[in-house]
């Protein structure tokens, strides 16, 4: 079997066939996937019948695993899955649908805003790998936006203006955008909400391309008044998420989608989460470096 | 008088009339009919004085007193006419000085870069707004308009059913909060007022989405869920096919109907360049948005 990459939009996101990811991979196969990620930013694989064990084993091919922020911001007995597995579901620890006012449900609504996973960490995520175990009958798509194309299409004045801008990211900022207070979102884990700094423009040495490092977790730009920073980030996000930069993924059970958080944003779309089950599991690869020196 | 649409059914350019002069009743009726059809009318090359803008505006109803003027001591007001809203980046009466980067009036005005409907935070929102251009920057500073009738029509049947009877809460606090600017106090005019999300135009009978960044809550919904939904809806409603972007020329007068369009300002280099527009607004009394049940509006 050889792997075949078929573009899902002209320059962004590809579907891959001809590989069973639940089995051990050869170094050549891993390299082909890494190259595909550099080229397409998002890769879609169908019919990959992972359990948590095999998903984590496959994920380790690409680097060190992150502990999910959900696990970091809760007690072990509150979690359905192991700490390396982010629980992207609407189920509680007893596999029951979460109630409307469930704190985790409300926090997860922040995923409906365009973001880059773990951009609130000093060393943010590289790849996210999301496996669909149960999908709702309608809604619940994940949309991906190409931050390299978004950068490339900025006018020269904007490119010059943003080249050296430093932004501050926190999981609290994205929740504040939907009116979910940091006190409730963070609970007893407020220190996890401390803002970290990143470059707004990232440069990728492997591909020689720049990308916009945007995320709903951004709350300020260093040296700017807050309202001006937020209005500007909104404008940039609107530019960056125009339909021509977006691929919308409609999930089927056993899909695995990998995206590169350094070059893409993504968001979840609405579904009837009080009545339909959606069970997705995400493993996340830690990035290799900070984008800027962090303040002490 | 001639009205030429810019987009099918949306935004008309009006020529062949001098609005600096008093209007006849048929002319007023023709402009109102144009507003019903096109929601936004643009009158190029109308060198109005402040007085003349107020006189022209008064053809369409009772003028609102801007919130900022209400809250400002008379000696600090830039214009003699209290009905005139100051949409400039000047440091008050000193028109040679631009507002500083941290100026709180500037912070407050930055929320105009969010899509909104004027005065939707009042129990009765604005009907028409009229904006007259005096000075423009060399680049940027457009005003964009989005057609909330077309946006409503383009919703799928399920979403229409979901929003048709929705009641939402508007406050100036909510729009400022979205860009991290806290409006403090417990003044009555900061308290959320309730409006229907879907309103029906009294003349045309067309439905439209009465959206605004001043909305922060939906009756019966949890706040985060309401805000995520309103963002989705606003994104739908402001897709490019529903939007007209007006690049200002000096002496343009543009008027729009806040019941059927949202608008926003786009960025310009406001620390270096001058921009001066003057706004008049007509109270929306009897114009449709007060179709919210009175007891709810009064809550």
Q: Hey, of A225, A226, A239, A269, which one would you mutate to test binding to chain B, going by the most B CBs within 10 A of its CB? A: A225
Interface membership of A160 toward B (CB under 8 Å)? no
Q: How many structural domains compose chain A?
A: 1
B73: tokens are 């001591």
Element (H, E) at A38: helix A27-40
Q: How far apart are CA B234 and CA B211, in angstroms?
A: 7
Is residue A71 domain-resident? yes
Is residue A93 domain-resident? yes
* Chain B partners within 8 Å of A239 (Cβ): none
Q: ipTM score here?
A: 0.95
Span B198-244, pLDDT tens digits: 999 888 999 999 999 999 999 999 999 999 999 999 999 999 999 99
A228: tokens are 């001006």
pTM: 0.94
Is residue A173 domain-resident? yes
pLDDT of B289 above 50? no
Is residue A293 domain-resident? no
A22-31: list long-range contacts, CB under 8 Å, 24+ apart: A22/A48, A22/A49, A22/A50, A22/A54, A22/A58, A24/A57, A25/A58, A25/A61, A29/A3, A30/A61, A30/A62
Q: How many structural domains compose chain B?
A: 1
Q: In what order do the strands lie in the sheet with B215-218?
A: B193-196, B167-170, B215-218
What average pLDDT does the segment B139-151 reach?
A: 98
Q: What is the CATH number of the domain that holds B62?
A: 3.60.130.10
Label residue A245 by pLDDT band (50, 70, 90).
very high
What average pLDDT does the segment B272-299 reach?
A: 67
The range of the structural domain enclosing residue A139 comes to 4-286
Is residue A115 domain-resident? yes
DSSP 3-state assignment of B33?
helix
pLDDT of B299 above 60? no
Look at A45-54, A132-141, B65-74 and tell me which has the smallest mean pLDDT.
Answer: B65-74
Is residue A277 domain-resident? yes
Look at A235-239, B23-27, B270-274, B289-293 and tell me which has the smallest mean pLDDT.
Answer: B289-293
pLDDT of B296 above 70? no
Label residue A177 by pLDDT band (50, 70, 90).
very high
Interface membership of B113 toward A (CB under 8 Å)? yes
What average pLDDT does the segment A127-149 reach?
A: 98
The range of the structural domain enclosing residue B107 comes to 2-297
Biggest distance spanned by C-alpha atoms of chain B = 54
**CB within 8 Å: B180 and A230:** yes
**CB within 8 Å: A235 and B102:** no
Give me the percent of chain A exceeding a pLDDT of 90. 92
**CB within 8 Å: B113 and A231:** yes
Q: What is the CATH number of the domain that holds A75?
A: 3.60.130.10
What average pLDDT does the segment B10-33 reach?
A: 98
Q: Is the dihedral of CA B150, B153, B159, B165 positive or negative?
A: positive
Of A106, A109, A231, the CB nearest to B110: A231
Is residue A291 domain-resident? no
Is residue A292 domain-resident? no
Give me the percent of chain B exceeding a pLDDT of 90. 80
Span B51-102, pLDDT tens digits: 999 999 999 999 998 877 777 788 888 888 889 999 999 998 888 899 999 9
Interface membership of B100 toward A (CB under 8 Å)? no
User: In sequence order, which ranges of B164-239 are alpha helices (DSSP H)?
Assistant: 172-177, 223-237
* Chain A partners within 8 Å of B178 (Cβ): 177, 230
Closest to A251 (Cα-Cα) out of A147, A130, A146, A118: A130
Classify residue B42 by burial, with Cβ atoms within 10 Å: 0-12, 13-18, 19+.
buried
Residue A79: how many other CB atoms lie within 10 Å: 17
Of A100, A226, A227, the CB nearest to B222: A100
Of A109, A220, A227, the CB nearest to B225: A109
B261: tokens are 């369009």
Span A268-280, pLDDT tens digits: 999 999 999 999 9
């Amino acid at each position: 079997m050889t792997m075949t990459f078929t573009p899902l939009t002209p320059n962004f996101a590809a579907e891959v066939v001809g590989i069973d990811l639940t089995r051990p991979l050869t170094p050549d196969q891993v390299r082909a996937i890494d190259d595909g990620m550099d080229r397409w930013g998002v890769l879609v694989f169908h019919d990959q019948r992972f359990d948590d064990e095999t998903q984590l084993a496959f994920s380790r091919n690409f680097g060190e695993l992150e502990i999910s922020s959900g696990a970091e911001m809760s007690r072990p007995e509150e979690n359905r899955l192991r700490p390396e597995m982010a629980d992207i579901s609407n189920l509680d620890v007893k596999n029951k649908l979460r109630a409307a006012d469930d704190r985790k449900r409300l926090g997860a609504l922040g995923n409906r805003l365009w973001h880059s996973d773990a951009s609130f960490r000093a060393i943010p995520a590289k790849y996210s790998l999301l496996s669909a175990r149960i999908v709702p009958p309608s809604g619940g798509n994940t949309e991906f936006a190409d931050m390299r194309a978004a950068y490339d299409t900025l006018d020269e004045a904007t490119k010059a203006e943003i080249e050296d801008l430093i932004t501050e990211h926190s999981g609290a900022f994205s929740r504040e955008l939907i009116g979910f207070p940091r006190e409730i979102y963070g609970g007893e884990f407020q220190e996890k909400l401390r803002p970290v700094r990143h470059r707004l423009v990232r440069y990728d040495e492997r591909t020689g391309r720049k990308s916009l490092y945007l995320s709903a977790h951004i709350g300020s730009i260093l040296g700017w008044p807050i309202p001006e920073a937020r209005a500007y980030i909104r404008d940039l996000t609107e530019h960056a998420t125009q339909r021509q930069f977006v691929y919308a993924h409609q999930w089927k059970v056993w899909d695995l989608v990998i995206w590169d958080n350094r070059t893409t944003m993504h968001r979840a779309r609405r579904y009837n989460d009080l009545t339909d089950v959606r069970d997705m599991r995400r493993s996340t690869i830690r990035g290799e470096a900070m984008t800027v020196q962090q303040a002490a | 008088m001639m009205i030429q649409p810019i987009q099918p059914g949306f935004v008309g350019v009006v020529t062949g009339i001098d609005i600096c002069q008093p209007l006849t009743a048929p002319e007023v009726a023709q402009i109102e009919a144009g507003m019903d059809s096109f929601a936004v009318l643009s009158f190029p090359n109308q060198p109005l004085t402040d007085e003349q803008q107020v006189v022209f505006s008064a053809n369409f109803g009772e003028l609102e007193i801007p919130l900022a003027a209400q809250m400002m001591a008379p000696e600090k007001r830039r214009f003699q006419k209290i009905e005139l809203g100051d949409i400039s980046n000047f440091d008050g009466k000193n028109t040679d000085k631009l507002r500083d980067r941290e100026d709180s009036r500037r912070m407050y005005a930055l929320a105009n870069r969010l899509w909104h409907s004027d005065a939707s935070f009042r129990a009765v929102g604005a009907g028409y707004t009229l904006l007259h251009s005096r000075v423009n920057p060399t680049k940027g500073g457009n005003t964009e308009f989005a057609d909330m009738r077309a946006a409503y029509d383009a919703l799928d049947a399920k979403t229409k059913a979901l929003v048709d009877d929705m009641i939402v809460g508007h406050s100036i606090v909510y729009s400022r909060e979205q860009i991290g600017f806290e409006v403090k106090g417990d003044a009555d005019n900061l308290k959320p007022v309730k409006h229907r999300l879907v309103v029906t135009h009294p003349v045309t009978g067309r439905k439209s989405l009465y959206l605004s960044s001043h909305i922060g809550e939906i009756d019966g919904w949890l706040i985060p869920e309401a805000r995520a939904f309103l963002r989705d809806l606003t994104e739908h409603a402001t897709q490019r096919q529903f939007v007209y972007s007006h690049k200002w020329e000096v002496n343009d007068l543009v008027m729009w109907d806040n019941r059927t369009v949202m608008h926003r300002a786009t960025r310009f280099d406001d620390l270096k360049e001058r921009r001066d527009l003057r706004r008049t607004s007509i109270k929306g009394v009897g114009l449709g948005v007060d179709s919210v049940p009175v007891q709810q509006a009064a809550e």
